A and B are shown apart, each in its own frame.
Chain A
Amino acid sequence: MVKKFTENLNSLCDAFEMFKASGRSLSVAYENDRLTEIRQGESSGMSIRAVKGGKIGFSYSSKPDEVDAVAGAAIRMAPYGKPYNFSFAPRQKSEHTRPYDARCGELSVEKLVGLGLAVKDAIKSIAPEAMAECSFSGGVSQSRIETSAGQDCSEQESSFGYFVAAKITEEGNFLSTYRYRSSNGQVGEDEILEEAREAARDFVVARKHAPVKAGRYRVLFSPGALSDILMPIAVSINGLNIEKKTSRWVNSLGERLFDERVTLLDDPFHEDGPGGGLYDGEGVCTQRRAIIEKGVLKGFCHTLSTAKACGHEPTGNARRAVSSVPQPGLHNLVMAGGSATREQLLAQAEGGLYIDQMLGTFTSNFLAGQVSGNISLGYAVQGGQRIGRVKNCALNVNTFDLLKSHIVAISGEREWVGGQYLPWVLVEDVAISAR
């Protein structure tokens, strides 16, 4: 049936790419100690990029069995679209494998509701005054990409994620300490409950208030906060910003930009990584690639289109939902660990701050390297320990400068933050504004 259709499509347009995806998922959420949502979803969709007269049109539909309508709309849009000055993916087969956990598609309401109750108990056993918040979701999906250039690849993926938090909202003090993880396989209940207890232990420390004055400090960034600090790098290696020359790194491949302890890889095959895949959103085989190696810029993130426009080789970094056109993006960003332990870094942060969560940094001017935002969860460090939460203070750093000349040490331990596997990083001479 599909075969017949693509043959038909070949006769209607000059080139095409068809992306089909379907999946099912189940999620359960608790807020303020209370079960609030059980959501079961089925989704399907297909999109087509069709080339006619040297230009590309795009169309998407979530309605099953609407291939003719989608193809018709894509062809109708093509005369107005972007010039087709690259080629859709040719036939290629990935040599890699990636774990698939079928259990993610077999989760039951009873299991997830019960897990929520256990998380609530775990949090309250350590922080009785906290309210528990948590959510769990799992699912499986299939996708298939076919192109007129001969590619026909399919992939099935599994996903599981959790979020556990201890929170309190009271006069002059809103606090939420949380842990979360996304994975490509089911995460064990023991890990989730331990993370819930960890969030509760953070909560207990953060209940104490520690004063902070504006000034320059040593700062220990948790993996969660480091993720915000790395945003200017992710934006500056994005192929669109290279193509449009809005990245300052257009001509910087091979240049030493950072401290030699900074190494960043994009690893689509990481066994725990939630963001990977054997093929990218255009059917191109993905690669494990260095982005920054020992401080030196090694690679950009490209779609077929941005790679062609820049005269670079494709990198297999097209990221997309079935409803959208591909954009360059990282799969799993993995930062190399250092030689210090977390405890050693905390001891070295004496008199400084431990920053765990930032707020609103996404509004910063990343292309200029700027990362600004409120410190929504930060601690003062004394005697090798976090002694209490600092509030009403903001961070404003330039990542390009911070990771070039301010790094004191990097931890060997790392943690997943969404699709990023990151260490703790201690830096010095960081400006903190405070009231």
Chain B
Amino acid sequence: MKTIDRETTLTTRAALDSRNLKSLLTGLVQKAGADYAEIRLEDSTETALSFMGQNLENVSESHLYGGNVRVLVNGCWGFVTFNSLNELEARVREAAQNARAAARLSKDKSVLAPIEPVVDTVRLDLLADPRQVSIEDKIALFGGYNDRILRRPGVTSSALRYFDRYTRLYYTNSDGTWLDRELMDMGFGASAIATRNGITARGTTSQGGRNNFDVFRNLEHDIDEAASDAVENVGAPVVKGGTYTVICDPHLAGVFVHEAFGHLSEGDNIADDPRMQEVLRLGRKFGEGYLNIYDTGLDVGLRGHLKYDDEGVPTQRTDLIKDGVLVGRLHSRETAGRMGEKPTGNARAISYRFPPIPRMRNTCIGNGPHGKLEDLIKDVKEGVYALDSAGGQTNGELFTFTAGKAFMIRNGKLAERVRDVTIGGNVFDTLRNITGIAGDYHVRDGSGGCGKAGQMPLPVSHGSPHIRIKDVVIGGK
């Protein structure tokens, strides 16, 4: 204990990157008395500001500091979180005790897929560093956007949010991995709000990323469009409920692929469920030959970019559907181990407070052969062109999401705007019903994130070209 006490006094923020920390943590995982052990330690600083209407509602600087110990003993997990490095050895002991207690009662046994241990230091490589932009300049930039929204006649209020978060993340496991990583995450979202005759509608825009504050500059066009959308949405009729051919813009199609197929592909849905394994058997045809879906951690600059996942596994591009056929899924070491497959670098945790579970990174529909938006629209007699997203949810088989704005399509042409377009569907039918994929892939990040198992918001990205889906149920009047 004395050694620990002496060592922990060194782990102030100023000295957190000392070699002492590495020897402390790697020493602890090696002598944890577990079949496998890992320690994650995290220190992050977030600057955030938000506007509501004319007010700068909040400006803050926050620090999240803490860590966890995760051990595997006789096939059962123990997981303990902490805010202080004091008595770290006791936390490791508690995690092992909890795992042992569970192993005495439970017959369920976890195994981890093997990986090559990695020792690496990952430093930020930023095109424009948000920490070099003063809080005054951030307020001027985003406050300018807020003013611009509020100046639009017909707009009654606004909501803007910006954050940047710098994280120093240490990770070590008993396989010999040691990672000292820096991460940056930034996001911005703006809503223009218009209220008329008791009806409220929004127009939104967003941006985000990991390596370039400059993506938040020169957004006047996007801001003006969001303001116009609010005003025009509030005056638009509610869509008539029914079954339509729907064309989704890249942003909404990205939300669709995330909600509808990304979550389904996460290994923890599949690993212990033989019926699900049958539904999602590799080689099964899910769509037309031009349907390609993948999840990648390799797109530098996107919020879904990661060099390593939270188990120290290098990330990759993971094909899920190739030429219409299921070819892969998203694994942690545990789900890969249980299924006899290879880890894919998808084990992620939103913070030290949670264990890593299979999650997405940047989930995409690949470009297809059907040209541009105009080419998808021209054969549609009556349909809906749905753009942007107000969010979505899935239970694996069924999904619901809401478009940020929408227009009717009549006789191959865009027609009047409609509002409150909520699309519900069955994942499997919908994938089969994709009748067109354009070649105009686009990805744009935002300020939100993905939620699963109480872990929200996880920074992810999603991208797609325009897609056309037949027989989509839209709720409406």
Contact = CB atoms under 8 A, between A and B. Distances in A.
A188 interface: no
A37 B422 contact: no
Given A363-B401, A373-B424, A38 B98 contact: yes
A114 B59 contact: no
B229 to A, nearest CB: 13
B471 interface: yes
Given A82-B58, A244-B157, A376 B63 contact: no
Interface string B38-73: 000000000001001101111111111110000000
Interface in A134-174: 168-174
B59 A40 contact: no
A395 B422 CA distance: 10
Given A38-B77, A113-B101, A240-B52, A33 B200 contact: no
B330 to A, nearest CB: 16
A115 to B, nearest CB: 10
A58 interface: yes
B157 to A, nearest CB: 4
B198 interface: yes
A392 B59 CA distance: 44
Nearest to B255: A363
Contacts of B272: 31-34
Contacts of B133: none
A37 B79 contact: yes
B337 interface: no
Given A40-B79, A117-B105, A361-B400, A58 B59 contact: yes
Interface string A307-336: 000000000000000010100000000000
Contact of B81 (A32, A41, A392): A41
B102 A109 contact: yes
B112 interface: no
A59 B60 contact: yes
A253 to B, nearest CB: 16
B426 A38 contact: no
B58 A58 contact: yes
Nearest to B99: A38
Contact of A61 (B65, B104, B269): B65
B6 interface: no
Given A364-B420, A364-B422, A370-B420, A62 B83 contact: yes
A28 B77 CA distance: 10
Interface string A355-377: 00001111111011010111010
A82 B57 contact: yes
Interface stretch (A6-14, A72-80, A198-206, A413-421): A72-80
Contact of A77 (B59, B99, B106, B268): B59
Contacts of A69: 63
B1 interface: no
Interface in A202-247: 214, 240, 243-246
A34 B338 CA distance: 12
Contacts of B95: 40
B396 interface: yes
Interface string B329-371: 0000000000000000000000001110000000000000000
Contacts of B395: 174, 176, 359, 376
A44 B353 CA distance: 12
B200 A248 contact: yes
A38 B78 contact: yes
Interface stretch (B120-128, B166-174, B386-394): B386-394
Interface range, B side = 35 or more
Interface string A30-74: 011111111111111101000000000111111110100110011
Given A63-B63, A374-B399, A39 B81 contact: yes
Nearest to B51: A82
B157 A431 contact: no
B401 A59 contact: no
Nearest to B392: A360
B56 A76 contact: no
A44 B83 CA distance: 7
B106 A35 contact: yes
Q: Which residue, of B55, B63, B81, has the highest number of chain A Cβ atoms within 10 A?
A: B63
A372 B475 contact: yes
Contacts of B399: 359-360, 374
Given A169-B273, A374-B400, A80 B56 contact: yes
B225 to A, nearest CB: 19
Contact of A59 (B53, B62, B400, B474): B62
Nearest to A374: B424
Determine chain B's interface SS by DSSP, over half rule: strand
Contacts of A34: 108, 272
A110 interface: yes
A117 B102 CA distance: 11
Contact of B80 (A40, A113, A431): A40
A41 B62 contact: no
Contacts of A38: 76-79, 98-99, 102
A387 interface: no
A110 B101 contact: yes
Interface string B95-116: 1011101101110100000000
Given A35-B106, A169-B276, A359 B355 contact: no
Nearest to B280: A169
Contacts of A108: 101
B473 interface: yes
Contact of B66 (A62, A81, A243, A391): A62
A387 B84 CA distance: 55
A308 B113 CA distance: 58
B103 to A, nearest CB: 9
A82 B55 contact: yes
Contact of A396 (B97, B105, B193, B241): B241
Contact of B400 (A131, A172, A363): A363
Given A40-B80, A76-B61, A433 B476 contact: yes
Interface in B256-314: 268-269, 271-273, 275-276, 278-279
Contacts of B355: 37, 39
Q: Which residue, of B80, B81, B102, B400, has the highest number of chain A Cβ atoms within 10 A?
A: B400
Nearest to B422: A372
B201 A368 contact: yes
27 contacts: A32-B272, A34-B108, A37-B77, A37-B79, A40-B80, A40-B95, A42-B83, A58-B58, A61-B62, A62-B64, A69-B63, A80-B59, A81-B56, A81-B58, A108-B101, A109-B97, A110-B104, A174-B396, A240-B52, A360-B400, A360-B401, A360-B424, A361-B400, A363-B391, A363-B402, A372-B476, A392-B426
Given A44-B83, A60-B60, A374-B400, 19 more contacts: A35-B106, A40-B80, A44-B84, A45-B83, A62-B66, A62-B83, A63-B65, A63-B66, A169-B396, A171-B278, A244-B157, A248-B198, A325-B58, A359-B393, A360-B394, A363-B401, A393-B424, A394-B241, A434-B473
Closest 5 CB pairs between A and B?
A: A360-B400, A396-B475, A174-B397, A360-B393, A363-B402
